[in-house]
């Protein structure tokens, strides 16, 4: 019986799921948050129980050791040697990786080389890799790249209209993100459509971070995030697309410096920046329902940024068989789905099944039989993709 742990190391967090791969069941899952602070939070779920502890966890290395010690202490595994593979989510694989890869020195060097494209993530991923490698040296390790699914984009979709030398010399191009989620969700939709030879699917991954992808015949042909995850739709704290001249204006006329502007666009914009309430869609919606005009405006802008990409990808695909909603907002907000679809229903011939949208759970169809496009809710499962690729590449 092979056990694989899927790991997602963020700049100050470590998410994990331990799988029994023979039947793909989750043995335990959880997250360590606020790493590097005195009040780090360690949450672990196992045997139907949930254990939450607050303690000081200074580094990712100590977070990994705490996790592995807990697996033994709670008898989730009898020995760490039971874990045969560790699958690591890696945000940025550049143009090097079109699929997941067994981690060796060459892969490590490339992940490190690309850290300037994902400064908050790639270094943390490597820290997580080294910590697990030291703790379980017998386990194989695999990197699963957020960018890999989007390597099927053609140059006409990933080259920016700036001097070409910045692409050839500096690797400036669209890379996209959330690829593991877009891959999983689009494959589930293809399954639900009956595995047709040809398919045209739009995946809307809507959460604190959000992106849309046009998937044709199972391959990504365009995606809303760009050189970094800052591009595309409006998000929790990210601005998404805007006129780049605004950056120069804020520097020259307002007196901000470049780092402050980029920080503002990444951390202080989006739903938070417009509403002034929160980066969490639920909080903004509650405020809007209580009459907060800026919260209403933030939600209206968010919806219109999403439908702009739905329309763009409907045209790029030459039509659409299905739209799939996933991630925090996409999976959990019936209101967001209903409002977004209402804005495109007349143009695209979509008819929503209100009962399925509002009262259903899990994977489901939320459009009616007369709808010209099928609409699904598909809970994403990036960890399962990571675990599957780890098992496949390590021949477990």
Residues designated as active site? 146
Nearest by Cα to 124 from 208, 13, 233, 49 = 13
Query: Is residue 362 classed as helix, strand or coil in its secondary structure?
Result: coil
Report yes or no: 177 and 183 within 8 Å, Cβ to Cβ: no
- 290 known member of a binding site: no
DSSP string, 153-164: --HHHH--SS-T
- 49 known member of a binding site: no
DSSP string, 213-235: EEEETTEEEEES--SSTTSSS--
- Tokens for 167? 């692409």
160 half-sphere exposure, CB direction, 13 A CA radius: 18
- 9 known member of a binding site: no
- 207 known member of a binding site: yes
- Of how many residues is the chain composed? 396
Nearest by Cα to 353 from 383, 380, 379, 377 = 377
- 291 known member of a binding site: no
- 382 known member of a binding site: yes
- 330 known member of a binding site: yes
Cα gap 218→201, rounded to integer Å: 8
- Tokens for 10? 């963020």
- 265 known member of a binding site: no
Report yes or no: 151 and 81 within 8 Å, Cβ to Cβ: no
Cα gap 200→348, rounded to integer Å: 14
Report yes or no: 148 and 218 within 8 Å, Cβ to Cβ: no
- Tokens for 266? 């990444």
- 8 known member of a binding site: yes
- 331 known member of a binding site: yes
- 206 known member of a binding site: yes
How many angstroms from the chain centroid is the CA of residue 299?
21
- 286 known member of a binding site: no
Residue at token pair 């209580």? 290
- 23 known member of a binding site: no
Helix (H) or strand (E) holding 208: none
Binding site for substrate, by residue number, is 89
Binding site for ATP, by residue number, is 15, 205-209, 280-282, 328-332
Binding site, by residue number, is 8, 15, 89, 205-209, 280-282, 328-332, 382
Binding site for Mg(2+), by residue number, is 8, 382
């Amino acid at each position: 019986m092979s056990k694989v742990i899927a790991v997602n190391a963020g700049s100050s967090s470590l998410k994990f799921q331990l799988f029994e791969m023979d039947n793909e069941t989750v043995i335990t899952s959880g997250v360590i948050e606020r790493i590097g602070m005195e009040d780090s939070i360690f949450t672990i779920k196992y045997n139907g129980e949930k254990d939450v502890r607050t303690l000081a966890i200074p580094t990712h290395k100590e977070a990994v050791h705490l996790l592995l010690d807990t697996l033994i202490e709670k008898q989730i595994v009898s020995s760490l040697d039971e874990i045969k593979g560790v699958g690591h989510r890696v945000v940025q694989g550049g143009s090097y990786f079109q699929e997941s890869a067994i981690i060796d020195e060459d892969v490590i060097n490339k992940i490190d080389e690309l850290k300037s494209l994902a400064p908050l993530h790639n270094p943390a991923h490597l820290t997580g890799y080294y910590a697990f490698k030291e703790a379980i040296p017998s386990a194989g390790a695999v990197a699963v790249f957020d960018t890999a699914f989007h390597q099927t984009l053609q140059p006409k979709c990933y080259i920016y209209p700036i001097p070409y030398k910045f692409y050839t010399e500096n690797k400036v191009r669209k890379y996209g993100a959330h690829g593991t989620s877009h891959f999983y969700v689009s494959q589930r939709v293809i399954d639900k459509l009956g595995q047709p030879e040809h398919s045209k699917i739009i995946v809307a991954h809507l959460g604190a971070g959000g992106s849309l992808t046009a998937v044709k015949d199972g391959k990504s042909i365009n995606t809303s995030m760009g050189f970094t995850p800052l591009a595309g739709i409006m998000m929790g704290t990210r601005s998404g697309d805007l006129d780049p001249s605004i950056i120069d204006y804020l520097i020259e006329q307002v007196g901000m410096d470049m780092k402050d502007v980029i920080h503002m666009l990444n951390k202080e914009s989006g739903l938070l920046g417009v509403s002034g309430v929160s980066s969490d869609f639920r909080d903004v919606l509650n405020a809007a329902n209580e009459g907060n005009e800026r919260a209403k405006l933030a939600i209206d802008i968010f919806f219109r940024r999403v439908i702009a990409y739905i329309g763009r990808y409907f045209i790029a695909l030459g039509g659409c068989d299905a739209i799939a909603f996933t991630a925090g907002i996409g999976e959990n907000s019936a209101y967001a789905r209903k409002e977004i679809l209402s804005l495109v229903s007349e143009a695209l011939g979509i008819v929503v099944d209100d009962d399925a949208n509002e009262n259903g759970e899990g994977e489901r169809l939320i459009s009616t039989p007369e709808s010209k496009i099928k609409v699904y809710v598909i809970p994403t499962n990036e960890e399962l993709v990571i675990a599957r690729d780890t098992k496949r590449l390590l021949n477990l």
